[in-house]
Amino acid sequence: MDAALQAAPLRLRRIFEAAQFLSQNDDDYPALRSGIAAALGESRADEVLAPTY
């Protein structure tokens, strides 16, 4: 995950680091999800990013 964050643009790194949660409604969510999927794989990204209620 650290390697993927380091490869991400600074703006996305700052958003990810500052976020207390990730919302699928956020404009930056697709880019953040893509980075997480690149680091962890699609299946694990789906598990990690599954909504919690």
1-53 pLDDT, tens digit per residue, is 777 778 788 888 888 888 888 889 999 899 889 988 888 899 999 998 898 87
Is residue 53 a part of any domain in this protein? no
Q: How many domains does the chain have?
A: 1
pLDDT for res 51: 86
pLDDT for res 11: 85
Q: Are 31 and 12 in contact (CB under 8 A)?
A: yes
| Residues of the chain by 3-state class (helix, strand, coil), percent to 5 | 65, 0, 35
Is residue 16 a part of any domain in this protein? yes
pLDDT for res 42: 95
Who contacts 1 (Cβ-Cβ below 8 Å, separation ≥6)?
36, 39, 40
